[in-house]
C-alpha cells in the first residue's frame, strides 16, 4: 500500500464488472452530461459486454474497494474513470502513472466539452495531436487525440531518502 492508501491491481471480471460499470456511469453522467443520460445508459451495456472484457484494465482501490480504473488497448487509453466523490485526490494521476509504466507512452481521445478532463491531461503533460468534429457514433461531439510520452513532472510522489546506512 502506498502512503495515500490507494492500491492498483488487475481487473477481476467476477469481482469488478458491476462496480466498475457503476463508477463509469456515475463519472460519465458528471463528465459527459452533454451526451444525455439515455445514450449513456446504452453505452453502459457496451462497457460491460465489450470494452471492459477486451481491454487490459487496472483497478484503483481504497480500503479494498474500487474507486477508479483505467482500461488499455495497447498504449491507447480506452477509458479512465474515477468515482465522482473520489475525484481530485490523485487517483487518476496514479492510474495514468501506472499505465505509463506499463506501456512507455499513452494516447487517448477525449471529448473537448469535458473541460475538466482536458485540463487534467494537459497538466500531466499530454499534448494534442489532432481533433475531429464527430465522435465514434457519428454524433457532433468534438474529440481531441492526446499523447503522453514524457510527463511534464513526476506522476507519482517522490520518495525522500534520509541519510545512508
Cβ proximity of 55 and 78 under 8 Å: yes
Contact between residue 111 and residue 142 where contact means Cβ atoms under 8 Å apart: yes
Q: What is the pTM of this model?
A: 0.86
- When pLDDT is averaged across residues 13-17 and rounded to a whole number, the result is 94
End-to-end CA distance of the chain: 24
The answer, yes or no, to whether residue 162 has pLDDT greater than 50, is no
The full set of domain ranges for the chain reads 6-148
Question: What is the CATH number assigned to the segment(s) 6-148?
Answer: 3.40.630.30
Strands 127-132 and 143-148: antiparallel
Percent above pLDDT 70 for the chain: 88
pLDDT digits (tens, 9 = 90+) for 81-132: 999 999 999 999 999 999 999 999 999 999 999 999 999 999 999 999 999 9
**β-bridge mates for residue 127, sequence order:** 147
Amino acid at each position: 500500500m502506498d502512503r495515500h492508501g490507494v492500491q492498483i491491481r488487475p481487473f477481476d471480471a467476477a469481482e469488478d464488472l458491476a462496480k466498475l460499470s457503476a463508477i463509469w456511469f456515475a463519472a460519465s453522467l458528471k463528465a459527459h452530461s452533454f451526451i444525455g443520460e439515455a445514450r449513456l445508459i446504452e453505452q453502459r451495456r457496451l462497457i460491460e459486454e465489450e470494452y471492459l472484457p477486451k481491454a487490459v484494465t487496472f483497478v484503483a482501490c481504497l480500503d479494498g474497494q474500487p474507486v477508479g480504473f483505467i482500461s488499455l488497448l495497447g498504449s491507447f487509453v480506452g477509458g479512465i474513470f474515477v468515482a465522482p466523490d473520489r475525484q481530485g485526490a490523485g487517483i487518476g494521476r496514479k492510474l495514468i502513472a501506472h499505465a505509463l509504466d506499463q506501456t512507455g507512452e499513452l494516447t487517448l481521445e477525449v471529448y473537448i466539452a469535458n473541460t475538466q478532463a482536458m485540463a487534467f491531461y494537459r497538466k500531466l503533460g499530454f499534448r494534442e495531436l489532432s481533433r475531429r468534429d464527430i465522435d465514434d457514433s457519428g454524433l457532433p461531439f468534438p474529440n481531441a487525440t492526446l499523447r503522453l510520452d514524457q510527463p511534464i513532472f513526476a506522476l507519482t510522489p517522490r520518495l525522500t531518502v534520509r541519510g545512508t546506512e
